[in-house]
Amino acid sequence: MNEKISALKKEFPALGARFGGKRLVYLDSACTVLKLSCAAEAQRRHLLGLGGCGGKRSFHALASAMEEEFYAARARVAAFMGAESPEEIIFTAGVTDAANLLANSFPFTPARNEVVLSPLEHNAVFLPFERLAAAGRIKLKVAPLKGLKPDMEALGRLIGRRTALVCFTHASNIFGGREDVARAADLAHKAGAFLFSDDAQYAPTHGGGAALYGADACAFSGHKLGAPYCTGALYVKRALLGRLRPWRVGGGTVEDVSVSGGRYTVKYLGNYQGFEAGVQNYSGLAGLAAALARFEKCGYDNIRAHVSGLVEDAMKALAEVKGIKVLGRREDLLEGSLISLAPEKKGFSVPDFNLFLNHQLKGRFIAVRTGRHCADLACLASGYRETIRLSFFAYNTPADTACFVDALKKYLSLLK
């Protein structure tokens, strides 16, 4: 393990905690990354040392100090996401919040009201658009899968002159790997449509996101980067941002309200300000900024290389296990941070195996994710109704994988 990675590994206190007297083997970072000490400390310091009014509402020294930190966090997130300006960053509670915001504020017109989705979209992205489609406001099209990846030719054929938006997850949370956002953005742009990328699984190990690959909008979740829950951001390119209609409205979003003949006219603030209604998660965002600074210091290249090494190591070990199948191709999986397994041996019960990992191992338990992973589109398209997902981050070691493989072999040996 490289020195920078081993120094970083020491900064996740939950790794050393015991639960019911048992040691944690954590292979569920795709769900959430354990939290970084510096992020928690920054949040605490902000809450107790500032804790005042934010969002340009009050004008006193405490409010100015709050605003300064808030803007510094925005600038750091903008740099992380590859935005041209901090004004293109809307803080959100994560990707779910970002996708709901985008779906409900997007400027669909009768002539352009189609949304094309990759088959790998998480429910966080799929469902907000599915709701609009169910209400008859848009038409939804889903591209097919090809070898557990989006069929890019078919995606291209679905995009046309009525397409307003293409949603394309950058890294799948069920099949791993990494997808060609630049190509998807190109297909969307050629048809005059916009491209949104879900960077939830991409950002933590690659650093940054799809803005650098031509996406018009993209989002990530802070809790998947060791930062406080309910932090994250939606980047929207200036040209699109100016066309979005604020959706969650309220305090802090309005430039002016006028009334004439009993009717109110509301003028919303431009850029991010029209979209951040009400009090924001200022302290959480201080934590997010601290987490981003820490990973930057470690270097995303180091994180990436370490995680890719763990995936490779796990694939080698799993290749020798009979009774399960690793989903996906080696060269694809090495680009991502997770591996999904499908049971093949008769009698294998995924819920029972999960119980086994949690209750039947001596002195430790193994946290993995089993089920559909909120990736219902991918499950429907692939026919895999449940998988066992191992996901890695900078703090994992080959010993974690060895622990899992050992447990898997033991469980398989119990089946007749």
Stretch that binds ligand PLP, among 35-43, 77-85, 194-202, 400-408 (CB under 6 A): 194-202
Residues 6+ apart with CB under 8 A from 228: 35, 39, 40, 43, 222, 281, 283, 284, 287, 288
Q: What are phi and psi of 255, to 5 degrees?
A: -85, -40
339 scored as a contact of ligand PLP (CB under 6 A): no
Task: Tell me how far, at minimum, the Cβ of 200 lies from ligand PLP, in Å.
Answer: 3
391 scored as a contact of ligand PLP (CB under 6 A): no
Stretch that binds ligand PLP, among 197-205, 316-324, 336-344, 351-359 (CB under 6 A): 197-205
**Residue from the set 27, 73, 155, 200 that interacts with ligand PLP by CB under 6 A:** 200
CB closer to ligand PLP out of 105 and 113: 105
Stretch that binds ligand PLP, among 151-159, 193-201, 274-282, 287-295 (CB under 6 A): 193-201
Task: Tell me how far, at minimum, the Cβ of 308 lies from ligand PLP, in Å.
Answer: 19
CB closer to ligand PLP out of 74 and 122: 122
221 scored as a contact of ligand PLP (CB under 6 A): yes
Q: How far is CA 363 from CA 114, 150, 302, 357, 398, in A?
A: 53, 41, 31, 11, 18
Task: Tell me how far, at minimum, the Cβ of 336 lies from ligand PLP, in Å.
Answer: 11
Count of residues touching ligand PLP (by CB under 6 A) = 13
Contact present, 54 and 44 (Cβ < 8 Å): no
What binding mask, one character per residue, do residues 169-188 give for ligand PLP by CB under 6 A, x or -?
Answer: x---x---------------
DSSP SS3 for 214: coil
For residue 19, the tally of other CB atoms under 10 A from its CB is 12
Q: Dig out the tokens for 90 from the structure.
A: 């809307």
Burial class (CB in 10 A: 0-12, 13-18, 19+), 54: buried
Contact present, 378 and 392 (Cβ < 8 Å): no
Rama region for 82: left / alpha / beta (φ>0; ψ in -120 to 50; rest): left
Task: Tell me how far, at minimum, the Cβ of 303 lies from ligand PLP, in Å.
Answer: 17
Task: Tell me how far, at minimum, the Cβ of 234 lies from ligand PLP, in Å.
Answer: 11
Task: Tell me how far, at minimum, the Cβ of 243 lies from ligand PLP, in Å.
Answer: 24
Task: Tell me how far, at minimum, the Cβ of 48 lies from ligand PLP, in Å.
Answer: 26
Task: Tell me how far, at minimum, the Cβ of 90 lies from ligand PLP, in Å.
Answer: 14
CB closer to ligand PLP out of 70 and 220: 220
**Residue from the set 46, 122, 294, 306 that interacts with ligand PLP by CB under 6 A:** 122
What binding mask, one character per residue, do residues 223-242 give for ligand PLP by CB under 6 A, x or -?
Answer: x-------------------
- Count of positions (residues) in the chain: 416
Distance in angstroms (rounded) separating the CA atoms of residues 66 and 77: 17
Q: How far is CA 174 from CA 15, 171, 248, in A?
A: 24, 9, 30
Contact present, 245 and 107 (Cβ < 8 Å): yes
Task: Tell me how far, at minimum, the Cβ of 175 lies from ligand PLP, in Å.
Answer: 11
CB closer to ligand PLP out of 99 and 408: 99
102 scored as a contact of ligand PLP (CB under 6 A): no
For 297-309, give one letter per residue: b (16+ CB within 10 A) or e: ebebebbbebbbb
Contact present, 249 and 97 (Cβ < 8 Å): no
CA gyration radius for the chain? 22
Contact present, 173 and 201 (Cβ < 8 Å): yes
Task: Tell me how far, at minimum, the Cβ of 172 lies from ligand PLP, in Å.
Answer: 7
CB closer to ligand PLP out of 69 and 121: 121
- Within residues 72-101, the interface with ligand PLP by CB under 6 A covers 94-96
Burial class (CB in 10 A: 0-12, 13-18, 19+), 383: exposed
Distance in angstroms (rounded) separating the CA atoms of residues 333 and 408: 20
**Residue from the set 39, 77, 117, 124 that interacts with ligand PLP by CB under 6 A:** 124
What binding mask, one character per residue, do residues 135-174 give for ligand PLP by CB under 6 A, x or -?
Answer: ----------------------------------x---x-
Task: Tell me how far, at minimum, the Cβ of 115 lies from ligand PLP, in Å.
Answer: 16
198 scored as a contact of ligand PLP (CB under 6 A): yes
List residues binding ligand PLP (CB under 6 A).
31, 94-96, 122, 124, 169, 173, 198, 200-201, 221, 223
